[in-house]
Structure 1
Amino acid sequence: MMNMSSNIKKFFFVSVPFVYRGMHKIHYRSLYAILDGIKFNNSKKAVGRRMNKHRVRTVVLSAVAATSLLWGAASAGATDLKEVLEVGIKVNQLAQQSQKKIDKTVDQTDKIIGDYKGVLRTIEGLRVYNAQLQRQIDLQVVEMGKLSKSIKGVTYVKRQITPLMMNMVKALGEFIDNDLPIKREERKAGIERLNELMLNPNVDASEKFRSVFELYQIESEYGRAVQAYTDKVTLGGNELEVDMLHIGRIALVYQTRDGEQSGMWDQASQSWVPLDDSYRKPIKLALAVAQKKAAADTLLRLPIPAPIPGKMETAK
C-alpha cells in the first residue's frame, strides 16, 4: 500500500503540471490532503474497513489522472505545434526581410557599378578633350609669339600707314582730274570727304584705310560699267541738261533731251565735241540699252576715240 501511495504521488506529480497547463486548476495542496487522508494500519480490521474507501479513491484518482494526462498531452501537443508554427512563421518573416535587404543591396551595387562605368567613360572623354585642348594651346602659344613680334612693329607701321593713305588719296584725286568727266563732281566730292577723314584724330587708322579702299573699288567699277545718267554740259556758253552715256572708260557721249544734238568727250582736248546726225539713233539706242529699255545683245555703233595721242578718229 505504501508503494501504491508512492506511485500515486509520483503519478500526480507528473500529471499535475499538464493539468495546470491545460487550465485545470487543481492545487497541489488539495492533492496532498487527499493522499494524506489514506492511513495505513497493521490491523487487518482497519485495512478491511478502509479497503472499499481506498478503492473508490483509487478509481476516482485514476480517472482524474487519466483525464488530466489526456488533457495535458493534448494541451502540450497543441501548444508545441503552435510554437513550432510561430517559429516557422518568424523564420519565414526573417527570411523575407533578409531577401529584401539582399535585393536592395544588389540594386545598390548595380547602380554603383553603372555609375562607375559612366564615370570611366566621362574620364576617357575628358582625356581626349584635354589632349585636343593641349594641342590648341600649343598652337596658340606659337601664335602669341608671332603676335608679340608683330605688336612691337605696330608703332612703326602706324607711322607709315598714314602717309601711305594720304598719298593714295592724292593720287586718286589727280586720276579723277585727268580721267573722263564721268560724274566728276560726285567723284571729287568723295575725294574731299577722304581728305577730311585723314585729318580727323577721332577716326581709327583702320577705318581710314577702309574708306580709301572703298573709293578705289568704286573708281575701278567705272572702267567696267555701262551707265546712263542725267548731267549738264556747257556748249557755246550755254549749259544744257543732257542724257549722258559712258561705256567703261572707252567712250563718253551725250544727247540732249529732245534728241536733236549729240556729242562726245575728246580726251586729247579735254572738251566736248559735237557729232553729226548719223550718231543720233545709235546713241539713242545705246541709252535705251543702258537704261534696260532695249535688249543688251543689240549691236551698237558709237564713236570710239583712236588710241593715238593728240588725235581722235571716229568709227562710222
Structure 2
Amino acid sequence: MKGVKPLILAGIVAASAAVHANDLDKVIDKSSEINKSAAQSQTKIDKIADSMQGRLQQFKTLNKEIDGLAVYNAQLTKQLNNQIEEMESLNLSMDQVSIIERQITPLMLRMIEGLEQFVSLDIPFLADERTKRVTSLKEMMNRADINSSEKFRRVLEAYQVEVDYGRTIEAYTALLNVDDKEREVDFLRIGRLELIYLTRDGKKAGSWNADTKSFEALPDSTISQINKGLRIARKQLAPDMLTLPVHAAE
C-alpha cells in the first residue's frame, strides 16, 4: 500500500500538469488572438491616421486656395471699383463732349466764314485753289459721316496753309488779263508782301496794289530781278537778295 501513494501523487501531478498545459495553450491561443486583433486594430488605426493626415493636408491646401481666392477677389473688387469710376468718368466726358460739340460747330462755321473773307480780301494769289479749299470746308460741315474732331482738324489745317503762305516764296503759272487780253504769265509771290507777274515772253511785268485792288505795270528795269526771283522760288538758284519794288503798307 505504501507503493500506491507515490503513484497516485504522480498521477495527480501529471493530471495537474496536463491541465496547466491545456490552460497555457488556451492562454497562448488567446494571446495570439489578442495580438492578431491588436495588429488589425493597429492597421485600422494606421489607415485612419493616414486618412486623417491626408485630409489634414487637403484641408491646409484648401485653406491656402481660399486665402489666394480672397486676395484675388479683393484685387478684382478694386479693379471693378476702378472700372466703375472710369465708366462714370467716361459718361461725364461724353456729356461734356456733347456740350463741346454743340459749341464747336458754330465756332467752325465762324472760322470758315472768316477764312473766306480773308481770302477775298487778301492779295489774289492761287485764287482758284484757295476758293476751292473754302468751298470744300463748307461742304464738309454738312456731312454726317465726318465727326467733329476731323472737321475741326481740317479747318485748322486750312488755317495753317494760309499761315504758311505768309512766310514762303512761290512761283506758279496762271492766266491774267494784261492790256485787255488774257495771257499766260508767271507769278512770283513773296510771302504776302508782294505778288508780281511776268509775261511768258518776258516783256511785261506788274505787281499787285492792295490799295487800288489791281495790278500795276512795273518798269522794264525790274524784269531781270523778277526772273531771278522766279528761279529762286523754283529752286533753280540759291537764295539771294532781290531788289524789287514793294508797296508799303499803310
TM-score in terms of structure 1 length: 0.52
Deviations 1:46-86 (A, max 9, x none): xxxxxxxxxxxxxxxxxxxxxxxxxxxxxxxxxxxxxxxxx
> 2:126 corresponds to which residue?
183
Q: Quote the Cα distance in structure 2 between the aligned partners of 1:295 and 1:158.
A: 48
The aligned amino acid for 2:130 is: R
Match of 1:289 in 2: 232
1:239 corresponds to 2:239: no
Cα deviation, 1:169-209, whole Å, max 9, x if unaligned, reads 11100000000111011100111111111112232222221
The separation in 2 between residues aligned to 1:156 and 1:236, in whole angstroms, is 56
What whole-Å deviation, never above 9, does each CA across 1:232-271 have from its counterpart, x for those lacking one? Answer: 1112321111110111101110111111011100011110
Shift of 1:135: 9.6
Give the distance between the partners of 1:142 and 1:167, measured in 2 at CA: 37
Among 235, 241, 247, the alignment partner of 1:299 is: 241
Of the structure 1 ranges 281-290 and 142-151, higher mean CA displacement relative to structure 2 is found in 142-151
Q: Considering only CA atoms, is the larger Rg found in Structure 1 or Structure 2?
A: 1
Cα separation, 1, equivalents of 2:227 and 2:79: 64
Shift of 1:148: 3.2
Taking every aligned residue pair, what percent have the same amino acid on both sides?
39
1:217 corresponding residue in structure 2 = 160
Q: Secondary structure at the match of 1:254?
A: strand
Q: Does 1:155 align with 2:101?
A: no
Look up the equivalent residue of 1:218 and give its one-letter code.
V
1:146, distance to aligned residue in structure 2 (A): 3.8
Pairing 1:89-100 to 2, within 5 Å after superposition: none
Aligned pair partner of 2:203 in 260, 264, 271: 260
The CA RMSD over aligned residues, in Å, is 2.5
Give the deviation of 1:163 after TM superposition.
1.2
Q: 1:144 to 1:255 in 2, by over 3 A?
A: same
- For the structure 1 residues 232 and 139, does the alpha-carbon distance in structure 2 shift closer, same or farther, using more than 3 Å as the test? farther
Q: Matched residue of 2:198: which SS?
A: strand
User: How many angstroms apart in 2 are the aligned matches of 1:302 and 1:175?
Assistant: 26
Opposite residue 221 of structure 2, the aligned amino acid is: S
SS at structure 1 position matched to 2:184: strand
2:44 aligned partner: none
Give SS of 2:185's match.
strand
Correspondence 1:194 to 2:162: no
Which residue identity does 1:196 align to in structure 2? E
CA displacement at 1:142 relative to structure 2: 6.0
| Change beyond 3 A, Cα 1:201–1:276 | same
Deviations 1:100-119 (A, max 9, x none): xxxxxxxxxxxxxxxxxxxx
> In structure 2, do the counterparts of structure 1 residues 147 and 278 end up closer, same or farther at CA, with 3 Å as the change threshold?
same
**1:116-156: per-residue Cα shift (whole Å, max 9, x none)?**
xxxxxxx9xxx9xx99x999998877655543322222222
Aligned residues: 179
1:280 matched to 2:236? The reply is: no
Does residue 228 (structure 1) correspond to residue 171 (structure 2)? The answer is yes
AA matched with 1:301: T
1:281 maps to a residue whose letter is S
Secondary structure at the counterpart of residue 246 of structure 1: strand
Aligned residue type for 1:305: H
Listed as ranges, the matches of 1:1-316 within 5 Å are 144-296=87-239, 298-308=240-250
Q: Structure 2-normalised TM-score?
A: 0.65
Label 1:272 to 1:145 Cα distance change in 2 as closer, same or farther (>3 A): same
